[in-house]
Amino acid sequence: MAGTRLTIRVPADFVLARDACSYGYFLLAPNHWEADTWTFSRLLELEGGPARVAIRQPEENGASARRVTLASRRRAARGRPLRVACDRTLNASERASVRGQIARMFRLDEDEGTLRAFHKLDPRWRRSGRGRLFRSPTLFEDVIKTVTSCNVQWPSTMHMNIRLCEVVGRGGAFPSAEKLARTRASTLRGRCRVGYRDKRIIELSRMFARGEIDEAWMTDTATPDDELFGFLQTLPGIGPYASANIMQLLGRHSRLPLDTESVRHGKSVLGFTGTDAQIMKRVHKHFEPFGEHAFRSYWFEVWEFYERKAGASETWRPKEVASAFTASNLK
């Protein structure tokens, strides 16, 4: 791409392929992971309009998939700066925005000491280095993606996000709060296939567009988890599951977003029996000892199960994963 080039320093333990491909949202539009070249790309919404960015982490000594294993490729990339290619020239303000949005997606500001504490508490993930979880470049996008992932199978979530970008977003970018706030419910339901979520998405978008969501308070570490969890449940369409998921996307991992997938995990991986409600309680109790890192421990167990089904997440391709992660294939 002909345009601005940026170099972004990362924590010493950061591996793009591992940490980008760590949570399902990396597969949702407008995100794109190129499994052959280990390149993450997407459109970012900027003041001068959308810009496509392609992000790579060049490996030491030019390691490639043809010559080395996934594990050795990860080691060769670890801690090396990100190279960002933009499809147009950015001004200073836009460059700062790109840096900020990339830092949020990959949690580049997450303290290495926090991850060491997690690995001490749950040593299963120390060798792989897992700890960071991918998220969207903005809280607003995370919230809408969470709404599209409730009470639905994964292929439908993927399709909803594709349509939101194609129908509402500028040039295929994820739509802004202002753009979605002006969208008709009939458009979201008929053309984006969001179903009953149409009015809730618009209501949430209007709240963000009007500045009624205090993101500073939500991201302030001094804000108690209980207060944040309670506030989130006052938002349109945000119940306990969605609230817990948004909390981990905000960097608070003490709560588990329990749903039917948690029941599947409890049965197939943990060997729990009983009613769905009983299994959910047992799953919650099982991960309770991990405290502020409970979600990380839970999620990486779930992710490990997915990788046994579909291979290492760095190798996933969206169309293949859409069919792989259905209820019938995850039993």
In a domain, 47, yes or no: yes
Same domain? For 218 and 294 the reply is no
DSSP SS3 for 251: coil
Cα separation, 158 vs 145, in Å, equals 9
In a domain, 299, yes or no: yes
Prediction pTM value: 0.95
pLDDT of residue 119: 98
Counted domains in the chain:
3
pLDDT of residue 262: 96
pLDDT of residue 68: 75
In a domain, 97, yes or no: yes
Same domain? For 90 and 39 the reply is yes
Which of 24, 219, 21, 36 has its CA nearest to residue 130? 21
Q: Give the DSSP letter string of 13-74.
A: T--HHHHHTTSGGGGSTT-EEETTTTEEEEEE--TTS-EEEEEE-PPGGG--TTTS-HHHHH
pLDDT of residue 328: 56
Same domain? For 105 and 39 the reply is yes
* Residue ranges in the chain whose pLDDT is less than 50: 65
pLDDT of residue 320: 80
CATH of the domain at 9: 3.30.310.20
Structural domain boundaries enclosing 93: 5-109
Same domain? For 215 and 265 the reply is no
Q: Let me know if 234 is exposed, middle or buried by CB neighbors in 10 A (0-12, 13-18, 19+).
A: exposed
pLDDT of residue 271: 97
Same domain? For 152 and 210 the reply is yes
| Phi, psi (rounded to 5 degrees) for 259 | -150, -165
pLDDT of residue 100: 98
